[in-house]
Chains A and B, each alone.
Chain A
Amino acid sequence: MSLETRVHWRIDPAFSLEVDLALPSDGVTALFGRSGCGKTSLLRVIAGLERIAGAEVSFRGERWQHGRQFVPLHRRRVGLVFQEHSLMPHLTVSGNLLYGYKRTPESLRRHHPDEVAAMLGIDALLQRPVDRLSGGQRQRVAVGRALLGSPQLLLLDEPLSALDTQTRREIMPFFSALAAQADVPIILVTHTPDEVQAMADRVVFMSDGRVDRIEDLKQALARPDSPLFVDSGAASVLEGTILGQSADGFVRFGNDRVELLLQLDKTPKQGISRLRIQANDVAVSRRPLDQISVINQLPITIEGLEQWRPGRVLLTGVLADGQRLCAEITEQSRNTMNLAVGESVYALIKSVALIN
């Protein structure tokens, strides 16, 4: 546990932020909750943008705020990416990218500007004034700029929410790559389950200025009442690698124990990826079926059968590699099939989305 934050902040008479939070300083942590739940305020306290009396923040044993001691933001080496346009309008793309780089001692620099520009696909834009960039390009430059400051912690405040769906889909892979490659702990403030599922390793659920619970993504997706399911229903996230192309043109995804065939427009880059599978896109059968349009049929062991919505049951199964897969079935099906915990069945997966 090495990012510790304790804060009691009465933001206005009707709302206060009361948080005592300890997080591991690796991977991607999502602060998830509705607008106004205090997640951005918490992020600002962690960054040192708000100096709240009595708050305590420490990172990897370094006291950022404690009693009267307060390390100002410019000495914390924290990267920030905001929701909206935050590039410096008087500088070009390259001026923005290098702003933090120039201020980072050489011994602490971990990235080269060319490498970051290439990774984010902005190498052709370097000499452009920032007001001639699209929304997605701006956010990529903002991320590159933060990375080139070689931060020891990266804070992203709803970095995608000002973008339209199309642009978001385009730049999501960059953020996912960032999460996987940047080698720096990331805290992501978001109210979008998609972003959590695509990027996060753990989720801090917040509401009304408080932390409700902290869960690994897998745990968070394993319970039917997860707040992540409020918008679009229950879903599972499977991790795996792109294994290549099958003889009949499908993209093979998975690992040595579990393999799915995906139909994609283009073959994605090799590497760790995530799939999202909506629970209501999964059916179960007692035995594998031929003569059916569903290609992906995976054996699972039933781990849980929970009443969910009226007349609906959420079935949680364990795949051969230990990952979990949820299926939404009717109560009637459960009864006629006489399903019980511990039994082996086949999950018939009708559609998947590659989210990362």
Chain B
Amino acid sequence: MLGLSPTDWQAIEVTLRLCVYTTLILLVIATPIAWWLAGNRSPARVVVQAIVALPLVLPPTVLGFYLLIVLGPRGWIGSTLESLGLNHLAFSFEGILIASVIYSMPFAVQPLTEAFSNLGRRPTEVASSLGAGLVDRFFTVILPLTKGGFVVAATLTFAHTAGEFGVILMLGGSIPGETQVLSVLIYDHTEAMNYESAHRLSFLLLMFSFITLSVIYGINRRFAIAKL
């Protein structure tokens, strides 16, 4: 179908799996971070903001390099895992998942922070006074009132993860079915002078990104993507 080879399909499957997991994990992690950033005015906020935004300016190779050091067989996390009888995380799906979560962090945190800042503290303060606990407040007040922010955060994270290349190549290499995602496969096709395959997959990603961004702009004009 679409003239795609089994390798292509496998790469699409890995990419989608990576995007879905990254998005789900990031929504869970980014929500409390964004909430804290939206309500905090202490000096610590600036530091956290800078750390979260680092992937926006850092060359992916830098991040990939350090992750390789830490998660690889001789890194402290990698070696700890090995001493526990598990595998280290370099060149594995779990490894590139961790990398994606870190690398796409700003794309989840920033729209949520903006949504929470716009919401303010008043609705949750009122809900607390009416007897709603933390989880209750989240699902009955925060989520319904910041839906837009969550949709934007999830979509951007998903789309950005689909476009990752450098970090994955550094940390995961190009193992079919494990770490060979679309962007990496396009690179491999190009290297092999296989322009027709590269073009098919590139066009697929191009259309995907374009449609995603159109959808986000359509959903919520207030979120300026250009800032990210």
| Interface residues in chain A, defined as those with a beta carbon under 8 Å from any beta carbon in chain B | 47, 49, 72-75, 77-80, 82, 86, 88-90, 99-100, 103-104, 145-146, 149, 151
Contact = CB atoms under 8 A, between A and B. Distances in A.
Given A86-B122, A89-B145, A90-B145, A99 B127 contact: yes
20 contacts: A47-B129, A49-B125, A49-B128, A72-B128, A72-B133, A74-B127, A74-B131, A74-B137, A80-B129, A82-B126, A88-B123, A88-B126, A89-B145, A90-B145, A99-B132, A103-B136, A104-B131, A145-B130, A146-B129, A149-B129
Interface in B85-137: 122-123, 125-133, 136-137
A99 B130 contact: yes
A151 B125 CA distance: 15
A100 B122 contact: no
Contacts of B145: 88-90
B132 A74 contact: yes
B123 A73 contact: no
Contacts of B131: 74-75, 77, 100, 103-104, 149
A292 B132 CA distance: 62
Given A74-B127, A82-B126, A149-B131, 14 more contacts: A73-B129, A74-B128, A74-B130, A80-B125, A82-B122, A88-B123, A88-B127, A90-B144, A90-B145, A99-B140, A100-B129, A103-B131, A146-B130, A151-B129
A47 B136 CA distance: 19
Contacts, number: 55
Interface of B: 122-123, 125-133, 136-137, 140-141, 144-145
B126 A86 contact: yes
A100 to B, nearest CB: 3
Nearest to A101: B130
B129 A74 contact: yes
Given A89-B145, A90-B144, A90-B145, A74 B133 contact: yes
Contacts of A151: 129
Contacts of A73: 125, 128-129
A264 B126 CA distance: 39
Contact of A78 (B127, B129, B133, B137): B129
A151 B126 CA distance: 13
A80 B132 contact: no
A100 B141 CA distance: 13
Contacts of A104: 131
Contacts of B144: 90
A151 B137 CA distance: 18
B144 to A, nearest CB: 5
Nearest to B120: A86
B130 A100 contact: yes
- 10 smallest CB-CB distances across A and B, nearest first, come from A100-B130, A103-B131, A73-B128, A80-B129, A74-B128, A90-B144, A149-B130, A99-B130, A86-B126, A74-B133
Nearest to B122: A86
A75 B127 CA distance: 11
A181 to B, nearest CB: 20
Contacts of A89: 145
Contact of B130 (A47, A82, A90, A103): A103
A86 B126 CA distance: 7
B123 A86 contact: yes
A89 B131 CA distance: 18
A88 B129 CA distance: 13
Nearest to A87: B126
Contacts of B127: 74, 88, 99
B151 to A, nearest CB: 15
Nearest to A49: B125
Contacts of B123: 86, 88
Interface centre among B123, B125, B133 (most CB of A within 10 A): B125
Contacts of B133: 72, 74
Nearest to A84: B122
A89 B141 CA distance: 10
A143 B133 CA distance: 21
Interface centre among B122, B130, B131, B132 (most CB of A within 10 A): B130
Nearest to A74: B128
A72 B135 CA distance: 14
A72 B128 CA distance: 8
With a 10 A CB-CB cut-off, give which of A74, A80, A146 has the most chain B CB atoms.
Answer: A74
